[in-house]
Every structure is written in C-alpha cells, then in structure tokens.
C-alpha cells in the first residue's frame, strides 16, 4: 500500500487508488493554566483491555478502519501500537474508571492530541470536553503555547467538539490508498 496525500481532490479512474480519508487538522493557541476538571488525571494503570477498547473506539472513523482492503487486523494493530507508545511515555489522561482517555505528545512549544475516546456508556456527559481541556492545561503548564489535533472530516462529533473549544481548522488533506493488485492478502 502507498499513501497519496493531496491538498485538493484528485480525479482518479484507477480502482487500485481510492480516497479513504479527508484528514483535517485543528489548532489552538493555549495559555497558562486553563481551568480543568479535578476528575481527569494521568493514567498510571496497566496496559489493559479497557485501554485498548478506548483506543479502537478513537479510530472508528479512521482510514485504517474504513479501507476494506485492510484485512489482517491492521487497524487494531496500529491503534494498539499507538496507545502502547502513549502508555509507555506516560502520556495518557483518563476519566475516572478509565471511561475515557486522551493521549498526547509534546515537542518544544507545541503539543498534539493523539487518541481521544469516551466509552459509549459515558458519552454525552461532557467527558470529551474535560479531557481536551485537561490536555490543554497539561501542555500549557509544561510550556506549550499551541496544541493541534487531527481527525477525519467525516467525524462530525469530533469536529464539533474541537470547534466548540475554539480550535480552528488549519489544514485539509485528501488521503488516498494505492494498492498494487487492488488488495492485500
């Protein structure tokens, strides 16, 4: 598989090349400390099934899940790697009882949200906003002045969440997967 990234949609008639995602990047300036919920804390537990479940939930709109040509659990393998790296870096904030989580990374004055998810039974209760605000505060306290988050344009709940928190759309990229032979075996 080869990834093709484009700033505009491509006219393609070759079925081995398919649009699999419209990736959108949001960004927000952050300042010193932002008010956060005392319920959100750094995850210090073990790598477990609930953490994996949340990682998979965070990718329900992922191109790695939507591309039906991926047939060997690649989606799960990738998200397991990503959450494990965040866990090993102590870079996960959690909702009580691990009902939600956000992973993040920091580099100099910039922070990035990796994975964010709230379990289905806890959705609609404001946990997503609390997790995002906690990640912003964590980053601000450690010297970041900017935070970004990437999602899929079709992930309307995530886009609405980020926009409601003052994030601005800064980039839109069309992502295509090219498969020689049209599928993986």
Q: What is the mean pLDDT of residues 25-29?
A: 97
Contact 133, 165 (CB under 8 A): yes
Q: Is the pLDDT of residue 183 over 50?
A: no
pLDDT for position 33: 64
Question: What is the average pLDDT score of the chain?
Answer: 92
Token look-up 């409601």 returns 164
Contact 43, 104 (CB under 8 A): no
| Residues 58-89 pLDDT 10s | 999 999 988 888 877 889 999 999 999 999 99
Name the pLDDT band for 184 (thresholds 50, 70, 90).
very low
CA geometry: angle at 49 spanning 95 and 23, to 5°?
70
Name the pLDDT band for 154 (thresholds 50, 70, 90).
very high
| Complete domains list, the chain, with CATH | 22-173 (3.40.630.30)
| Residues in contact with 179: Cβ distance below 8 Å, sequence separation at least 6, in sequence order | 1, 16, 17, 69
Q: Cα 119 vs. chain centroid, distance in angstroms? A: 15
Q: What is the mean pLDDT of residues 39-58?
A: 95
Closest Cα partner for 95 from 162, 158, 50, 48? 50
pLDDT for position 73: 86
Q: Is the pLDDT of residue 181 over 80?
A: no
Closest Cα partner for 154 from 134, 170, 138, 175? 175
Structure tokens, 159: 């886009």
């Amino acid at each position: 598989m080869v990834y093709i990234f484009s700033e505009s949609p491509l006219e393609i008639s070759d079925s081995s090349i398919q649009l699999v995602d419209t990736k959108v990047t949001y960004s927000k300036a952050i300042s010193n400390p932002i008010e956060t919920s005392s319920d959100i804390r750094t995850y210090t537990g073990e790598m477990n099934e609930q953490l994996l479940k949340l990682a998979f939930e965070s990718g329900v709109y992922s191109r790695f899940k939507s591309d039906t040509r991926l047939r060997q659990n690649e989606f799960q393998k990738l998200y397991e790697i990503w959450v494990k790296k965040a866990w090993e870096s102590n870079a996960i904030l959690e909702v009580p009882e691990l009902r939600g989580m956000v992973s993040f990374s920091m580099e100099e004055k910039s922070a990035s949200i990796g994975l964010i998810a709230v379990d289905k039974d806890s959705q609609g209760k404001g946990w997503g906003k609390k997790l995002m605000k906690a990640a912003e505060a964590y980053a601000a306290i450690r010297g970041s002045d900017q935070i970004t988050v990437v999602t899929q344009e079709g992930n309307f709940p995530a886009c609405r969440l980020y926009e409601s928190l003052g994030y601005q759309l800064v980039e839109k990229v069309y992502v295509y997967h090219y498969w020689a032979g049209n599928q993986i075996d």
